[in-house]
Amino acid sequence: MIKIRNLFKSFGSLQVLKGINLDVAAGETLVLVGASGSGKSVFLRSVLGLSPPDSGSVMIDGLEVTKLSEKEKLSKLSNTGMLFQASALFDSLTIGENVGIYLKEHTDKSEEEIKELVHDALKRVGLNDVEDKMPSELSGGMKKRASLARLIVYRPQYLFYDEPTTGLDPMTGSMINELIVQIQNDLKATSIVVTHDPTTTLYVSDKIALIENGQILYVEETDKFMQISHPTVDFFNKITGHDYKNMMRKKNG
Ligand SMILES: Nc1ncnc2c1ncn2[C@@H]1O[C@H](COP(=O)(O)OP(=O)(O)O)[C@@H](O)[C@H]1O
Ligand SMILES: [Mg+2]
């Protein structure tokens, strides 16, 4: 599971995270919402140690991430992955090379094995015959899916998504939402999804947390969260035509 305690992060005099506490149970998908500039991206980067927090504790799978050296992060966080808001594909590598880069650099799998895993991951996200293409030849939605393939190719157990549907057309967006859920079921992963997209929030979440003034103001199961009296929830209700249940994914079991 993921356990975050008293996480603080400032940039100069700007205090962004002011004591974040959050738990995500194994196999659960938590969606983090909050106003633009409220610190959602900073939070994700702090959790993964990409932008180390000033103080506080981040436990992922029983591992205290804030105490890991750069080298340890690479080896010990191999079950953890993040989908960045910008696709962050390497422009000079083909899509196949992009998706396979982690396996090539951090595992001893053969070229043939990697080729097959890359092909499977791309197929998983609905991309066929793009291995030899360059990122510049792909549309925004295809790039996002290729980034998703790069994330799932090594089957991480902890997944972090920063605004996975931002900038995509609604149809591509809903395809990404569906993929997030499929990947979740496939990998039985534990995930945090940061988004301001009501559709994504309602569809992928088991729980929703709201960040405000550098703290987690609420964290509730999706249905319960939608009953809270707060401008963000009001907005979500308005956007969904007060029919949010219709936008929640049907959960089996
Ligand atoms: N590297 C940085 N240096 C200085 N300020 C930053 C940095 N990264 C983020 N911030 C500031 O932190 C605040 C939260 O940013 P961010 O986490 O990106 O918001 P959002 O919730 O929209 O993702 C903003 O005021 C932003 O300007
Ligand atoms: Mg952000």
User: What's the pLDDT tens digit per position in 37-91?
Assistant: 999 999 999 999 999 999 999 999 999 999 998 888 878 888 999 998 887 899 9
> Is the separation of the CB atoms in 220 and 208 below 8 Å?
yes
Q: What is the mean pLDDT of residues 6-13?
A: 97
- Residue 32 alpha carbon to ligand 2 centre in Å: 11
Mean per-residue pLDDT over the chain, rounded:
93
Q: For residue 253, what pLDDT is reported?
A: 46
Between 252 and 150, residue with greater pLDDT: 150
Residue with CA at minimum distance from ligand 1 atom 14: 39
Closest CA to 34 of 249, 236, 176: 236
Write the pLDDT tens digit of every residue in 49-59.
999 999 999 99
* Minimal-distance CA residue to ligand 1 atom 18: 41
Separation CA 17–CA 174 (nearest Å) = 30
Closest Cα to atom 17 of ligand 1: 39
Alpha helices in 85-169 (DSSP H): 95-106, 111-124, 140-152
Three-state DSSP class for residue 161: strand
- Looking at per-residue pLDDT, the higher value among 10 and 75 belongs to 10
- Best CA proximity match to 194, nearest among 23, 44, 6, 7: 44
Atom of ligand 1 nearest to the CA of 34: 21
pLDDT of residue 252: 61
CA 236 to the chain's CA centroid:
20
